[in-house]
Chain A
Amino acid sequence: MRNPAITAVLSGLLICWAAMVAAFEIEEDTLFAGTGTGGELRILSTTDTGIFAPLLRAFQATRPDVSIRYTVASSQEVYRALYDEGAGYDLAISSAMDLQMKLANDGFAQPFRGAAGFDWPAWAHWQDRLFAFAQEPVVLIVSRAGLGDLPLPRTRQDLISLMRDYPDVFTGRIGTYDPTLSGAGYLFATQDARQSDTFWRLAEVMGGMHPRLYSASGAMIADLQAGELVMAYNVLGSYAEARLDADAGDVIVALEDFTLTLLRTALIPQQAPSPELGAAFLGFMLSPAGQQIIETQTGLPAIDESALAAGPHLRPIRLGPGLLVFVDPLKRERFLEEWRAAVQQPSDQP
């Protein structure tokens, strides 16, 4: 699932070329060549090409004439590319809801009307500019083997007690996002802090355990599987679901006090060279067929109101102006400072 053979042309040269032209940092750049002269759909995304490829190909099956250039960058870079550099993309997909919200709020997104009868849940879009196409819980992953006889934590309170009572087990073997490096990590941390005061206690206790800090979920999962981590806090549920092996004793825990639910969002940038292609692809993603493919072939959970209703602990991060608060540079600075003070204890500093 994670490494499907990419049949489209993947050109290493192109990556170099693109990296030279764009000031923002690109991780992957893939061209899915079309048959004819339907133009080129340019997508800037934080989601790995491997995950998105089935959806891209399904779209290309309906529009064989359209070539798709799929560019992957970090959420900060996606934001910077559009906000500061006015990069020419027809669709911007990101897991950093706050940055996407900032783009939409500041007028960097075009309206999308959708086909007749298109009706998206109110919590899954903001105005007609920002649309969520996937929802996924942010989870705790635990290595059963590493935990030994200790009980699985079910709430953050459990987690705090567990770390306090058994520091030997957890010291140096807890992983979480570094919010200073990762947009998603920053979003999760700020939303955690907003949801409950336990976050700061958790951060402090975790800080006492000398946690390992990551910039991506994938690395945390890999380290947990390698036995280097006992637990990783705030991991993207879809990645964990796809890669963790229950037989090996790795457990995904959706904490019961609350579990943030991230919405992956897409917008059509104001300066899109062919916004009609962006709109076509967005419409396809949000259509029942597109949602079906997202659910079954990309491993990302589709937008599903009933799933939220079934899990009372699931808290979708609200798309709204509240998210803008954390994008404010002063606010960000303050928050990260506080976070550092809590997590990086004096003994860490050289």
Chain B
Amino acid sequence: MSSARATSPSIRQRLVLQLVVVAALLSGLLYLSVRTVADAAVETTQDSILGAATTTIADELRGGEDGIEVDIPYTAFSMLGAIGQDRVFYRIMVGNQTVTGYDDLPAPDGTASGLEPRYYSRPFRDVDLRIAAVSRTVLVQGRAVEAVIIVGQTRQGQAAIVANMANRAAALGLGFFVVATLLSILTAGTVLRPINRLAEAVGRRGPQDLRPIHRDAPRELAPFVTALNGFITRLGGALSRTETFIAEAAHHIRTPLATVRAQAEIALRQTNDDATRTALRSVVRAVDASARSAGQLLDHATVVYRTDQRTDERLDLGALTRDIARAFEPTADLREIVIALDVPVDPVQVTGDRLLLESALRNLVDNAIKYADPETQVDIALKLGDGRAEILVCDRGRGLSGVQAQALTKRFQRGENVGDVVGSGLGLTIVNEVAQAAGGSFDIVNRKGGGACATLQLPLS
């Protein structure tokens, strides 16, 4: 029914997608920050070791009468091997002269800052170095001389540690992302559960269930529920007004028509004037036609109303058919028509609205008797076959004279064969609509050997 309605992407999908995107961003951020912090931490650690080594050498510098004394302690360099297997370069300068070490090792820009080590990164030969420099003043031959100690180290150990940490950070970020995604899916489920429950509750309702919704809805859905309840109340009111209106309209039209018809009949009996009688007869005829039209119109309105407001029940189609046939006996007798019933004794169970099915059957039998030739037989049969029940109403009469069933089921559509038979052209419309509403089908064809044969198919329950 509503399959043609285009659905926009589900709230759940959108919610999950957005949460996952947020989780991915946060994971990336986590990875980056862990990396940055780790990088900085390792660099600081390495720097302090490098600085300590440099300071240790500086502490061992001694002034004296025959020049500066340099004694590099073993620990100064061995501690540099603590973190990794990095290459070490050093240079000790006094004044502007290199006393020992690598004389091309880059010196710090400007003057060294004193006992606090100064750190800088420089390329040296084929590698990039992290360098610490410390300057100290030493007394040589009574003169203050500035000595600069420079120690450089490659950073392969640090790179390895940082790479290792980066891997862990990546694993951490990935784990965080997976957990966050799972939680997002869970959260989306929890958040949407009240909406789903409400939708389910509304969807589960039968078509005639017009009670207001009393379910506890989250505050955000309260306006929706209130609006829906208001709508349901108004719909209920409108429907009951329509029902009353149909019943009242039928009454208000039929009653005066019956009075007109009765008065015309009385007048017909009291007068002998032929012209007056003819006039009165046409009045009766017109009243009959009007009454029929009004009746059929109201029936049709009822059918339309009830197909929306169905009260389905399980009923025995056999019994229903028999009842209708019996109800039409008097009418049939008037035209000396025999109704032949062929209905199984066992109950034939169908689910449907009794009023609608009765209405359909009544119209079929009415047509059969109306359009049959007098002193013929109308056959009413109920047959069963693969999950369907089939009601056949066949007569011996004028037949359809070539008009198709499709055309005859249109509203106010009468055949060319009607002659002086009173009718409104709504009967087969009602039958067809009932068949559609019950999930069945209707067809009417010419009968072999004269007459018409109408078929109403209904699903068995």
Contacts and interface: CB of A to CB of B under 8 A. Distances in A.
A62 B88 CA distance: 38
A327 to B, nearest CB: 10
B138 to A, nearest CB: 14
A105 B87 contact: yes
A200 interface: no
Interface string B411-443: 000000000000000000000000000000000
A149 to B, nearest CB: 40
Contacts of B80: 321
Contacts of B77: 320-325
Contact of B78 (A106, A107, A322, A329): A322
A313 B237 CA distance: 104
B447 to A, nearest CB: 94
Nearest to A335: B71
A132 B445 CA distance: 108
A80 interface: no
B126 interface: yes
Q: Bin chain A's interface residue count.
A: 10 to 19
A47 B80 CA distance: 31
A325 B101 contact: no
Contacts of A318: 78, 81
A334 B72 CA distance: 10
Contact of B85 (A320, A324, A328, A334): A320
Nearest to B53: A321
Nearest to A122: B85
A235 to B, nearest CB: 24
A320 B80 CA distance: 9
Contacts of B89: 105-106
Interface in A19-36: none
A330 interface: yes
Contacts of A331: 70-72, 100
B100 A329 contact: yes
Nearest to B126: A107
A106 B87 CA distance: 7
Given A105-B87, A107-B126, A321 B81 contact: yes
Interface in B303-340: none
B71 A334 contact: yes
A126 B101 contact: no
Contacts of A325: 72-74, 76-78
Given A107-B126, A328-B101, A127 B85 contact: yes
Identify whether the interface residues of B are mostly helix, strand, loop, or mixed: mixed
A324 B100 contact: no
B99 interface: yes
A19 B76 CA distance: 39
Contact of B81 (A194, A322, A329): A322
Interface string B129-172: 00000000000000000000000000010000000000000000
A105 B156 CA distance: 13
Interface string A180-222: 0000000000000010000000000000000000000000000
A329 B72 CA distance: 11
Of B76, B85, B101, most A-chain CB atoms within 10 Å: B85
Given A194-B74, A321-B81, A322-B81, A330 B99 contact: yes
B240 to A, nearest CB: 88
B70 to A, nearest CB: 5
Which size class do B's interface residues fall under?
A: 20 to 34
Interface string B99-122: 111000000000000000000000
Interface in A228-278: none
Nearest to B68: A330
B125 interface: yes
Interface in A125-154: 126-127
Residue with the greatest number of chain B CB neighbours at <10 A, chosen from A107, A126, A318, A322 = A322
Most buried by A among B69, B71, B74, B86: B74
B164 to A, nearest CB: 16
A173 to B, nearest CB: 32
Contacts of B74: 194, 322, 325-326
A107 B72 contact: no
Interface in A284-334: 318, 320-326, 328-331, 334
A170 B75 CA distance: 35
B87 A107 contact: yes
B85 A126 contact: yes
A126 B74 CA distance: 18
Nearest to A191: B74
Nearest to B88: A321
Nearest to B80: A321
A105 B88 contact: yes
A107 B154 CA distance: 12
Interface string B33-70: 00000000000000000000000000000000000011
A324 B77 CA distance: 7
A194 B76 CA distance: 13
Interface in B266-298: none
Contacts of A328: 72, 100-101
Contact of A330 (B70, B73, B88, B125): B70
A194 B77 CA distance: 13
B78 A320 contact: yes
Contact of B100 (A126, A127, A320, A330): A330
Interface in A90-110: 105-107
Given A107-B125, A107-B126, A324 B71 contact: no
A97 to B, nearest CB: 13
Contacts of B71: 330-331, 334
Contacts of A330: 70-72, 99-100
Contacts of B69: 334
Given A194-B74, A318-B78, A318-B81, A324 B88 contact: yes
Interface string A105-127: 11100000000000000000011
Contacts of A334: 69, 71
Contacts of B85: 126-127, 320
The 9 closest A-B pairs by CB, nearest first: A322-B78, A320-B81, A321-B88, A321-B77, A330-B100, A127-B85, A330-B70, A322-B77, A105-B87
10 contacts: A105-B88, A126-B85, A321-B77, A321-B80, A325-B72, A325-B74, A325-B78, A329-B100, A331-B100, A334-B71
Given A127-B85, A194-B74, 11 more contacts: A106-B87, A320-B78, A321-B80, A321-B86, A321-B88, A322-B75, A325-B72, A329-B100, A330-B99, A331-B70, A331-B72
